[in-house]
Amino acid sequence: MKILVTVKRVIDHNVKIKIKTDKSDVDLSNTKMAINPFCEIAIEEAIRIKEKAEKEGITSEVIAVSVGTSLSQSELRTALALGVDRAILIETESNIESLNVAKILSKVVENEQPDLVILGKQAIDTDNNQTGQMLAALTGMPQGTFASAISINNSKISVTREIDGGMQTLELNLPAIVTTDLRLNEPRYASLPNIMKAKRKPLLIKTPEDYGVIIKQHCKLLGVDSPAKRQTGIMVESVSELVNQLKNEAKVI
């Protein structure tokens, strides 16, 4: 069983986002970066599948792929410490559009011929939620998006998805593409010995040109802004005062 997982380097989700003074973009200077949380879930699921398969005597391999600047090596090393076997970094400028990423990933899929590709459902920096779907379109592979549970049975995978008002379970033929939702699993932490071992695991560095992909950007970032500051609340003594405030001050009823 060969599993490809995608790893995007994003601002650590615990960090408060800073904006450049000219509001042209988010300020990444001295900002803690990390693996996109949905990609952490993808890595965890791939490792669990590998561990289960190996218990059943099936050899498995997990490969992590990232598209980004050379700094993304750090997130790939973390993936290796978590249990990924080898990693590939395709070096590009920062934040290229999803279609470019999907085109590069489709070439990696063509080269590696994985049985399963697991991506996060979205990257928390751009919130695009489109790379997995684009990759499915480019490769012609079936897709199960927003997975909250998966199970593999011979050449098929069933994917449970949370949809409005309930759950939906799909069955896909492998090779397939799955994107992860939050409830799929709880990612593990890397142990110190595994962090040390990860330094010796293979990390291949490639370029889009190696895969014959020309990067084309279709959108221009015009600017970013912080969310409006929340006004401080007030304490009310009674329900009638609350109703009065909502009616006459906030004017919402």
- List residues near ligand AMP by CB under 6 A: 6-8, 36, 38-39, 42, 66-68, 98, 101, 119-120, 122-123, 126, 128-132
Q: How far is the CB of 120 from ligand AMP (least distance, A)?
A: 2
H or E element: which one contains 188? none
Cβ pair 106, 139 in contact under 8 A: yes
Q: Produce one character per residue of 65-97: b if its CB has 16 or more CB atoms within 10 Å, e if not.
A: bbbbeeebbebbbbbbbbbbbbbbbbbbeebbb
Nearer to ligand AMP, 165 or 212 (CB): 212
Q: Which is nearer to ligand AMP, 129 or 158 (CB)?
A: 129
User: Residue 96 in contact with residue 217, Cβ under 8 Å?
Assistant: yes
Under 8 Å between Cβ of 49 and 117: no
Identity of the residue, 39 or 109, whose beta carbon is nearer to ligand AMP in the bound complex: 39
Q: Which is nearer to ligand AMP, 100 or 160 (CB)?
A: 100
Which residue's CB is nearer to ligand AMP, number 124 or number 149? Answer: 124
Our CA dihedral for 44, 45, 46, 51, rounded to 10 degrees, sits at 90
Q: How far is the CB of 102 from ligand AMP (least distance, A)?
A: 8
Shortest Å distance, C-beta 55 to ligand AMP: 27
* Beta carbon of residue 242, minimum distance to ligand AMP (angstroms, whole number): 40
Cβ proximity to ligand AMP: between 60 and 122 the closer is 122
Minimum gap (Å) between residue 73 Cβ and ligand AMP: 12
CB 175 within 8 A of CB 112: no
Q: CB of 181: closest distance to ligand AMP in angstroms?
A: 11
Cβ proximity of 130 and 19 under 8 Å: no
* Type of residue at 111: N
- Going by their DSSP bridges, the two strands 176-180 and 143-153 should be labelled as parallel
Element (H, E) at 15: none
